[in-house]
Amino acid sequence: MTNDVFDSAGVADLVERINKLTPTTKPEWGRMSVDQMLAHCNVAYEMVYEDIHKKPGFLLSFFLKTLVKKKVVGPDPYPRNSPTAPAFKQTTPKDFAKEKARLVGFLERVQKDGVARFEGRESPSFGALTSSEWQVLFYKHLNHHLTQFGV
């Protein structure tokens, strides 16, 4: 098993885990349903590929870059029940099949775009990131939530 979202084997591992989810899969912790979790995970990719989320203002951006970035792109796993940024909150039911297909599509797109496309790429929340930081951001977040749902 590899944890590299830029590697076809790493994406295949993640897709295999995602495919183990069903509309009735229950979380081991937290309040999101499985369909909400998939939509929540899609937000990270929407911020890269779709212009549908408001960019943070100066003060919030400064806060995110100086205090949150290290936790998001650093090596330590996220603690259970960590606070969720407003853009990522999901409070209504979602279409499980649609969100699942979107997530798989985003993963395949990241892998296809590859390391070079992400080196120095601007994150709306954290500024320019290295491809290694993008890799950690994408993998760590998704792994956290797949683990939350037992896959």
**What single string gives the DSSP state of each residue in 2-33?**
---TTSHHHHHHHHHHHHT--TTPPPSSSS--
- The Cα–Cα gap between 118 and 135 comes to 9
Say what the pLDDT of residue 63 is.
73
Say what the pLDDT of residue 1 is.
55
Which amino acid is located at 129 in the chain? Answer: L
Say what the pLDDT of residue 96 is.
98
What's the pTM?
A: 0.92
- The Cα–Cα gap between 39 and 89 comes to 9
Say what the pLDDT of residue 55 is.
79
Could you state, in chain order, the average pLDDT of each consecutive group of 10 residues for the chain (151 residues)?
Answer: 88 98 97 97 95 76 80 89 86 97 98 97 92 96 97 98
- The Cα–Cα gap between 14 and 39 comes to 16
Contacts of 54 (CB under 8 A, 6+ apart): 87
